[in-house]
Structure formats: structure tokens, C-alpha cells
Structure 1
């Protein structure tokens, strides 16, 4: 069955970024629908650990950085929840991750254009240039076709596990995104090994370390990184997460961009100082009086293979500076190996209008368009790290990107786009 009404915009995926887009569209006359195959909004539920906080300030909500007066701001959420004084006395910039998730759910409940339990199966372009979007409703068990002038794809990233470990995946070897679901069974194991160096690995290790005193497991943490280093959080370092740096990075020669990103891991992949301090303090307290811990931490060490051995797994590890190998046995292996962008299957019908670079990556234009012809556009959210730099996945730049997209969809300036919003200059001449 086809819906002949031509919408202004269809959003594919309802994560934080497209949720913000839907909220900011409320200030326009644009007609929109957003679809997500999940039953409801739930942000990284497998990592919703007690005590975990956002790594960005609360102002990195869905709307504040372009519209602080919006009824969808985090401050208004606190007001509606009767929590303003609680937050005032908390005196913290970084809110609990669980509260950010609840804030997003609060927004989702107020936006009727959001359609959950609806999977976008295909996107095609009509002869008139409109987008034809086929959606399957898991509740109705029916497909419906919608038409729109513009499509914004915000499906985000998906858990990444190196292919050489795929054969070992199961109840005892899994990605960190599944941690909370498997946590209770894991605490009964005799040994647990965490692989990775980012915030997810650190939070999992801290949680396991916190609970180790009441369980008997050996706890190990390995990373191929050069150390358990903190994320860059100096004031001038944070200016890399600004529209100014995004513009600077976008205009760099494309052959230089990947090498720059390779050197910027600690801008967005490191561990929070508080998490590192929490881990160290636990280790320190538990070694009072010459006590020992059944804990092993080791950097500069790469996991090369995983093989099952009688209900446990043998891990082949290489300390690459020494050039030495060792075998480690563990009952549970948690792979905190990050997330990668991916091309959703619904793109199959529009491959002909997409541009690809020599590395097989999508060409994303500065204004977040994937196609740069005609009056009907396909936009992407958080799929432009390779073209726009480290700010692509950052929540603090989501509102800026959405303002850029909405101004194009509306054909006029709905939201003001700031320029010269940082103190430093990234390039020579007038470019910042």
C-alpha cells in the first residue's frame, strides 16, 4: 500500500542525532516521519552501567547548542521532571548516562512523527526526483511506501569485531555492547578478560573490579594501545569538537585526512580521567598490607587468535615491542573493539546516485549531503568521520549538523550557524 502524500523529510533511524533533528524540525512547517526498527528509544542499553556518565557536558543535548530556548532542552526536561534543584545541587557538568537516555525517551514520547518497530527496507528515487521509501511494520506485519523530498539517514554505527574472531563468538566471547545482558552470568566465571583501550573497556573493567571482592574470577585487561591513556580534555583540545575545526578538516586534502585521524585517537577514544582514577584507587586500596589482587593489566599487547579449549578459551597474545608471544586462558572474553560505520541494506536502491571514493567510502559533502544534484537531497548523520573529522560522532556537534541540514531542507535560515566560535586558529590565512 502506498502513501501518496509527499513529505518534506523522512528520517531513517532514530538515534540521538535523528531524534534531535525531529525535535528541531518542530520550529518549521516541514512534514516529516522518522522510522526505526527498535521497539522504542534505548541508547546503548548493553552499556547502561550504574555510575557511568556522558563524556560531554549536559549542553550537548539534542537542541541547546542551536536553540537554547527549545522546549526539548535538557534544562526543560529537568523542569518537567521536577529535578532542577536536584541538578543544581549536584553541581556536575556530566550527567549520568541513564539520565541522558531517559531525557531522549522523554523527547521521543512528545514527537508523534517518530515511528518505532518500523524497518526501512529500501530507498529509491522516482523520476520526479522524490525519494520512495519502503517500510516494514513489525507490529502490523505490513509494508508501506512513503514519499519524501529529502531523506536523512541516521543509522549510526554498529559493533565492530575483527573477522578473525568471528568463529569464537557466542555466550562466552562477545562484544562489549552486550555486556549488561550477560553480566550476571559472567560474575560466576572463574576468569574474565577484557580486550580494548577505550571508555567501554575501562567501564567494564571497573565494574568487574568493583565486584571481584565477592566473586572468585581472575580479571585481565589487555590492549594493543601504548597505554591506558586518558581522553584529551584540555580546554583548547576540546575546541577540535567545534564547527570551526569541522570546516578546517573538511577542506584538507583528502589524502591527508586518514593519517590525521590515526593520530587523534585520544581526542575521542581515550578513557575518562575519573574512570582511570576509580580503577587505580580500587587497586591501591586492595593492596594495603601487602595483599595481592588476582588482576592483570597489560598494554602494548595484541590479541592474535582465540581458540576454544574445554569450555575455556586460549588467547594468543603478542607483546609487539618485545616481539614476544604468550598464551592466556580465560572463560569469558569481552571484545571492546569499538564501532564502525556501515552502509545499511536500504541503500541498495540508491547506489547509482551515491558517490564513493577510492577506498570505497561514501563521499560526504560539506553540508552533509550524499548526492549533490537537483533539489532533493540525501543526508547522513554520524557517517562522515572520514570527511568531517573527529566531531562526527560527538553529541555536542549534533545540533550544529542538524541546523545545517534543516536550513537546506527549509530553504532558508531557521537556525543561526555560528562562525569563529573558538579562540584558536586551525589553519593559515582567513580559514579557521
Structure 2
């Protein structure tokens, strides 16, 4: 394998690099390899709740928004699984997470370029050859002209919980593995009001019977449990048009905008919030206490041993002491800098906050002739669509076109009705 020179090696096989593998499949003259340390494709197993659905339609699969004729589309998967007519009659626009994971596993097992059980430990660059060398824990070494990082994001743990992380404090990514322990506690606090937070609270509420079970508390810094923006024109923030507009803004303005747009990509769906309200109402119909304390506009400022929490109401500044038996942190994820990049650290042009500088083609600014690209690590340069599955296929096609130096996949020039920036006179 060391004698082969690849055009592209993908590090990590999540949905975004899997999309890249699918769109690269069968492209004449293109040699690709994708590596991941896991034994098989696995996507948020701790939140694989039975009835949890994607927040994007099934067309936001690996390929369809770029190439709907691809053999790796969700509809092709349904046909091969013998479920095309049942899916049609079900009239479900949003698949369940379980079905989406099965779809991705189907694609990953069929793509010869995807290799699991190969954890990348080092990415090096040789100026003399203009090639990267990607090394795995098992000793595989692959030389390539381009590297695409698709290592995903890592759980965010608020600073207040740093000292008690080893106690009964879990991130929502581990929820299903610890849910039995949570149900045995007398008091459980969920922190964070995004989709994961709402789903954890709803699931814990549904698991409760008439017997004495955990008192639930839901704490969130946001001022209200507002639903995710899902109007049709609002969703145009998840188009390539908006990405291009956002990328052209000054860095300071981009950094100001992203936190203010939380309702576009961090809120819970209106459906989940509605189901939660219904579950609370039905408990009262059955003569059971709701026993859920919802605290918007409230942040945890300290967590002491024994899970003594100090919370502050943000609007009034009033602080309160709370004792809880367990905490679930539904506090989201953030891009991480993988250890395998250390040999390249001096060659990467980091911004003042230690983030990648990323051009519109998702290529990192480096002092290398070879291309280093990132997927889902460019929220600060490409905006709220970065983690969204709906833009995954388009981004993969942009990267393929860029590294191939030709139009491998034709892409539309206009994707939104909205004109995001000022109209410049011709």
C-alpha cells in the first residue's frame, strides 16, 4: 500500500466523510481511502432512542442533493432492503436515527474505499514530494496528495463541571448506557435545552411510573424553550448561498453572528417540545404529579463534590443552591484538534483563537502544496450549516471538485430565494 499514491485519504468515517467516499466512488482516475478506528460505522449510539428522528428530510442523505442518481442514495438503500413501498406508504419525511444509521452502515460496508479498525495516529508531510503520509495504529502507511479530516466533534463539558466530571455526571452522548442508573436516582438534573436535552427529559419522563422515581429538573441558559427555526425561508440559512455570504464576512462579525443564531441549529424541535408538554399533561390526567422543574434563563456557575450545584438566574443575578443525584450534560459538541495533526501543527496557519483558517472550498490554510481539508470543523468560517446533514453532500462535492481541479460534480449557482448580502451594482 505504501507504493500507492492516493488522491485523497479521509481521516474518520462519520456521515460527512462517508458522503465524500460515496460521491468519489466510481470517479475515473480518482484513488481514495477512508480510515476509522471504530470496528464499524457508529453514529451517536448514546442517543439512539427508539422513536428519535432526524431533523432533516431523507433527501439529506449522503448523495441525493448532489447526485440523486447515485447507487448510494437513501432510496437505493430502501429498495435493496425491500422497504421502498412501505416507506412510501408511511409518508415519513424524516427517517428515524436508527434507520439513518443502518443506511450509513449499508453504504460504508459497500464502499471498498472505507476501512474500519484503522485508527490514524499521525499525519506527516514531506515537502520534497508534496505528499502526506497517513499512519495508523496497526502500522498501515498511506501516501496521499490530499487529506480530509472528518473526525467529528467532541462533547462540550461546561467549566463549572470540570471538578466533578468523574462523579455521577454524564454527557448526553452516553445517555442510553447510563439511563438505568439515572432511573434509580432520586433527583436528576438535565443541563441544556437543545434537541438532546429535550429528548433526554422526555425519555426520562416517559420511563416513570406511579412509583417514586427521580425528581427531574431541566436547567438551561437560554431565556426560553423556543423551538428550532423551521420556516421554509428560515431554512435558507442552510444553503450554499448563505455559506458563501457568511464566509465573506469579517471574522469579528462571523464570531458575533454564530451565537446569536442558536435557534437555527441548537434549539429543540417544536414536535419534541410538544410531545414533552403532552407527556406532562397526561401525567396530571392520570392523577400523577408532573414533577418536572423547568428552569430557563438559568446557568450552573459551580458544581461542588456531592453534586451541590450553584445556579444563577441570569436576568436577576439571584443565586440558589441545589442538590442533585446525577447530571446529564446536553451541552452540545465542538470541533476538536486531533492529536494525529501534531506533526503538521507548524505548517498550519491558525487564527488568533487557535482555529483553522478555512477557504470557501473547505481547504485549510497551510504551508504545504498538498491539500488539507476539514468537514464539520469550520463553523467559525462557514456558519450554522456546518454541522447540518443537509449540506454534507454539497460540501463533499465542493471538496472533490477542488482537489481534483475539475468539475467532478456540477453544482448549482443559486440555491436560495433570499439575497443575504447587499446587491452590488453591475
- C-alpha deviation, 1:167, in angstroms: 2.3
Q: Return the match for 1:169 from 149, 165, 168.
A: 165
Aligned residue in 1 for 2:51: 51
Aligned residue in 2 for 1:330: 324
Q: Return the match for 1:282 from 279, 283, 290.
A: 279
Normalised TM-score (structure 1): 0.95
- In the alignment, the residues of structure 2 paired with residue 68 and residue 372 of structure 1 have an alpha-carbon distance, to the nearest angstrom, of 34
Alpha carbons 1:173, 1:332 under 8 Å: kept: yes
Aligned residue in 2 for 1:160: 156
- In the alignment, the residues of structure 1 paired with residue 354 and residue 167 of structure 2 have an alpha-carbon distance, to the nearest angstrom, of 33
Task: Determine helix, strand or coil for the equivalent of 1:408.
Answer: helix
Q: Does 1:183 align with 2:182?
A: no
Aligned residue in 2 for 1:388: 382
- In the alignment, the residues of structure 1 paired with residue 18 and residue 290 of structure 2 have an alpha-carbon distance, to the nearest angstrom, of 45
- In the alignment, the residues of structure 2 paired with residue 27 and residue 405 of structure 1 have an alpha-carbon distance, to the nearest angstrom, of 16
- C-alpha deviation, 1:289, in angstroms: 7.7
Normalised TM-score (structure 2): 0.96
- C-alpha deviation, 1:195, in angstroms: 0.6
CA-to-partner distance for each residue in 1:328-379, whole Å, 9 max, x for gaps?
A: 1211111111101111011111122211112221100111111366652111
Q: How many residues align?
A: 422
Aligned residue in 2 for 1:348: 342
Matches within 5 A, 1:18-417: 18-28=17-27, 29-126=29-126, 127-137=128-138, 143-170=139-166, 172-213=168-209, 215=211, 216-288=213-285, 292-309=289-306, 313-371=307-365, 375-417=369-411
- In the alignment, the residues of structure 1 paired with residue 331 and residue 368 of structure 2 have an alpha-carbon distance, to the nearest angstrom, of 40
- In the alignment, the residues of structure 2 paired with residue 98 and residue 136 of structure 1 have an alpha-carbon distance, to the nearest angstrom, of 30
- In the alignment, the residues of structure 2 paired with residue 230 and residue 218 of structure 1 have an alpha-carbon distance, to the nearest angstrom, of 24
- In the alignment, the residues of structure 2 paired with residue 314 and residue 118 of structure 1 have an alpha-carbon distance, to the nearest angstrom, of 42
- In the alignment, the residues of structure 1 paired with residue 72 and residue 167 of structure 2 have an alpha-carbon distance, to the nearest angstrom, of 40
Task: Determine helix, strand or coil for the equivalent of 2:321.
Answer: strand
CA-to-partner distance for each residue in 1:301-331, whole Å, 9 max, x for gaps?
A: 111122233xxx2211111212211111211
Alpha carbons 2:349, 2:366 under 8 Å: kept: no
- In the alignment, the residues of structure 1 paired with residue 30 and residue 56 of structure 2 have an alpha-carbon distance, to the nearest angstrom, of 30
Alpha carbons 1:247, 1:388 under 8 Å: kept: yes
Task: Determine helix, strand or coil for the equivalent of 2:249.
Answer: coil
Alpha carbons 1:225, 1:300 under 8 Å: kept: yes
Runs ≥4 residues deviating over 6 A = none
- In the alignment, the residues of structure 2 paired with residue 290 and residue 179 of structure 1 have an alpha-carbon distance, to the nearest angstrom, of 29
- In the alignment, the residues of structure 2 paired with residue 94 and residue 234 of structure 1 have an alpha-carbon distance, to the nearest angstrom, of 16
CA-to-partner distance for each residue in 1:177-226, whole Å, 9 max, x for gaps?
A: 00011112221221111011100000000000111225511111111110
Structure 2: unaligned runs, 5 residues or longer: none
- In the alignment, the residues of structure 2 paired with residue 372 and residue 165 of structure 1 have an alpha-carbon distance, to the nearest angstrom, of 36
Alpha carbons 2:347, 2:367 under 8 Å: kept: no
Alpha carbons 1:354, 1:362 under 8 Å: kept: yes
CA-to-partner distance for each residue in 1:153-174, whole Å, 9 max, x for gaps?
A: 1111100102331221236211
Alpha carbons 1:365, 1:372 under 8 Å: kept: no
Task: Determine helix, strand or coil for the equivalent of 1:69.
Answer: coil
- In the alignment, the residues of structure 2 paired with residue 50 and residue 82 of structure 1 have an alpha-carbon distance, to the nearest angstrom, of 21
CA-to-partner distance for each residue in 1:6-48, whole Å, 9 max, x for gaps?
A: 1111000000000111111113131111111111101000110
CA-to-partner distance for each residue in 1:49-94, whole Å, 9 max, x for gaps?
A: 1110000111000000000000000011111111111111111211
For the aligned residue pairs, the C-alpha RMSD in angstroms reads 1.6
Which range moves more in the overlay, 85-94 or 66-75?
A: 85-94
- In the alignment, the residues of structure 2 paired with residue 233 and residue 406 of structure 1 have an alpha-carbon distance, to the nearest angstrom, of 30
CA-to-partner distance for each residue in 1:381-432, whole Å, 9 max, x for gaps?
A: 011100011111110101111111111222211111111111111111259x
